[in-house]
Structure 1
Amino acid sequence: MKKLILSSLLLVTFTISAQDFYWTYYNFSVEPENEATVLKLVEDYFKEHKNDGVTVRFFENHFSDGDNNYSHSIGFSGSLDAMGNQYSGTQSDSWDLFLTRVNQHIEGSFSSFMGRGISTHGPATEGNVWPIQNYIYIHVKDPSAFLPAREKYFSSFKSDVRLTVLGSISSGRSTHGETHMVIQGYKDFKSAMAGIDALLTPDQVEARKKAWKEFGENNGGVSVIRTGTRILLGKW
C-alpha cells in the first residue's frame, strides 16, 4: 500500500471521543489467500508497537462500487498530540521488518486520505464495538449551514441503536469532490441491512423523518459521492 501504505506511517480511522480527533486511511488490495497472513502480521505488530492515545483499526472493504474496489484499509486515529507522536518519523528495526514482511503480501495500493473528526452521535461508546460500518462520502456545498442543520437533526430523536461519525477530509480528495465522510456503525449485518428506522420505536421514526425533511431543506446543499460497507477485522 504505497507498498503497504507507507514508508512513513500515515494511517488512521475514527476514534470515539468528545474531543477533536484526527485520522488517515490507507486503502489497498490483498489477494484472498494472503488475507489471514496480513491480518496476523498487522495484529502482532500493533499489539506491541503503537503510541499512547492512538487506536489502530483494520477493515475489509466488503461492499463497494467498481471504482472503489480495494480490499482492505488500515488506519490510526487519536488526538492531535497522539497523532503527531505517531508521525514523528522515528524508525526502528521492528517497523522496517514489519513493512518488509507485509509488503510481500500486498497486491497494490489504491488510495489514501486524511482528515479530522467533527462530531459523533449515538450511545456511550466506551467498550462498544461497531463491526459493520457503512461509509458515505459527501460533498457539502455550504459547511456553515450543513453543520448546524445536522446537529439539529440528531437532537430531534434519541437513539442508541447506531453510531454515526462525521469527519472532514483535508487531503486525498478524489476528482469527484468529496469534502466529508460519514460513518454509520452497526452491531451486526442484520441491523445494517434493516437500516435505522427498523431499529427505532414508531415515535422515534416519526420524529426522525420529520427532522430529516427539515435537514434536507436547510443543509446548504449536500450530494452523495460514494457509499460502501466495511467490516472491522481488528482493533488495537
Structure 2
Amino acid sequence: MMMYPRILAQGVQVEHHHKVVVSLEYLDICGPGWFGIIGANGAGKTTLLRAMCGRLPLDAGQFYLGNSKVPVHRQDLARQIGFMPDVTHLPLDLSGKDLVALVAQQLGQPALDNSLGPLRQALGVERFWHRPVGQYSAGMKQRVALYCAFAGGQKMVVLDEPFNWLDPVSLFDVKECLNNMAQQDFLLITTLHEPLAFLQFCKAGMLLESGHNRLMLDESKMADFKKGSPADFERYVVTSLRTEAKSTV
C-alpha cells in the first residue's frame, strides 16, 4: 500500500522578539494534492512554512510526518520536505545547473531527474541555467529557486509565493504542471495571493490571520465553493483579508 505524504501540527507556536507570530492548535495536511495558505501580508504565512520545513525553531508544539506519533526534529523536517529557497539568497557565482546539482547531491538524487522533465520544460530553466545566477533576471531566479524545491526528490514540497515574477506564459505552464504533480503523488503546500488560483487548484487550504487558522477549507468546503461563482469566492476571501488588514493597522 502506497504511503502518501502527510504532516501534522499540534500546538505549534513560533515567536519573534517575544511576540507570537504563529500559533496553531491543530493542522493536518494530507497528500496527494495541493494545499493553499492565503492571508494578508504579515499574517505569518512565511514563518509557518519556514518552521514546517525545519528552517525556524519552534517555541512550543510539534510536527509529525505520516502516521508517526513521534515528533520530527528540525533536521529531519529539512531533509524530508522540499523547500523553495529565497531568491535573494541564491549564490550568485554558481550557475543554476550547479545549484540544482548541489541540492540534489545532498539528498542522493540525480541532478537531472527524468521524472522532473515536465517541470523543467514548464519553467524553461535549461535555456539559461548554465549561466551564473548573478546574471539572472528576477524571473529566472524565481524559476531556478522553484525547481530547487523539487530537486531533492521529496514528495512533500513547500513553496512560498512561487509565482512571483513569472510571465503569463510561464505562469500558465507552471500552474498546469504543478497541478498535474499534485494530482499524482505530491503534496504541495503553497502560500498564494490569488483567490482564484486558490479556488482552481487547491483541494484544501486555510485562511491564516495573525498566525492563527481563521478558517479551515477542507475538501468538502472547497468542493462547495467550486460549485459556486469564482467571483463570490474571491469576494469572500478579499472581504476576510480586508477585515484582517484593518485590524493590524
Alignment TM-score, normalising by the size of structure 1: 0.24
More strand by share: 1
More helix by share: 2
Alignment TM-score, normalising by the size of structure 2: 0.23
